[in-house]
A = this chain, B = another copy of it.
Amino acid sequence: MLRLYDFYDSGNGYKARLALAQLDIPYEYIEIDIEKGESRTREFLARNPNGRIPVLELENGAFVPESNAILCYLAEGTKLMPSDRYERAQVLQWLFFEQYNHEPNIATARYWLRHGHLTPSREPLFAQKRLAGYAALGVMEGHLASRTFFVGERYSIADIALYAYTHVGDQGGFELKRYPAVCAWLDRVRAQPGHVPLLKPQS
């Protein structure tokens, strides 16, 4: 059985949990408390030398770190990943956009606010993250104004990756209501078969 090393409040981990649920793939959930340094132990660094969750452990004991690499691994050959070459490139385009322009701003702002890490010295950087996060939401709004989903008018891992931290953007101080096309897309993602919320899986 697959094993997911994950922190319950992580949107990056949630991407994997949502894809696993929608692909109906059973897995064992191993909680790693990043607030207690559990992703930096020697044991964990053997799974991911970059010291970050989520990490997917395959049946043969090999490890796949990086949430969006996990999404690609799980989705290959399924309804969640297009087979057309250009559509695949578009899915990857949005996955890289998510990790470069979206997550470092929206997810980090949320993490700092929720877990008490917004120290005074971080205030200038927090202000920059607000601006950059809103810019990312603006790019999404423009794209979604004329589209149902991010790529090929079908739900894919591009939607899962961007849903993960967008739908909790308010927890990072982002006013989502300024982005009506994004809000309508969030509703469409939530209505997909097999959708699960960002919560620790019930064991």
Binding site for B on A (CB under 8 A): 49-50, 58, 62, 64-70, 72-73, 76, 85-86, 88-90, 92-93, 95-97, 99-101, 103-104, 121, 124-125, 139, 142-143
Do residues A93 and B76 form an inter-chain contact, with CB atoms below 8 A?
Answer: no
Distance of A146 from chain B, by nearest CB (Å): 12
Distance of A130 from chain B, by nearest CB (Å): 15
Do residues B99 and A100 form an inter-chain contact, with CB atoms below 8 A?
Answer: yes
For A142, give the chain B residue with the smallest CB separation: B49
Do residues A64 and B50 form an inter-chain contact, with CB atoms below 8 A?
Answer: no
Chain B contacts for A49, CB-based, 8 A: 139, 142-143
Specify the main secondary structure of chain A where it touches its partner: helix
Do residues A86 and B69 form an inter-chain contact, with CB atoms below 8 A?
Answer: no
Do residues A73 and B96 form an inter-chain contact, with CB atoms below 8 A?
Answer: no
Chain B contacts for A58, CB-based, 8 A: 86
Chain B contacts for A92, CB-based, 8 A: 66, 68-69, 72-73
Do residues B143 and A96 form an inter-chain contact, with CB atoms below 8 A?
Answer: no
Do residues B104 and A66 form an inter-chain contact, with CB atoms below 8 A?
Answer: no
A38 to B62, CA, bound (A): 45
Chain B contacts for A72, CB-based, 8 A: 88-89, 92
Chain B contacts for A89, CB-based, 8 A: 64, 69-70, 72-73
Chain B contacts for A97, CB-based, 8 A: 50, 66
- 8 residue pairs of the A-B complex, CB under 8 angstroms, read A50-B101, A58-B86, A65-B93, A66-B92, A69-B95, A72-B88, A72-B89, A124-B124
For A56, give the chain B residue with the smallest CB separation: B89
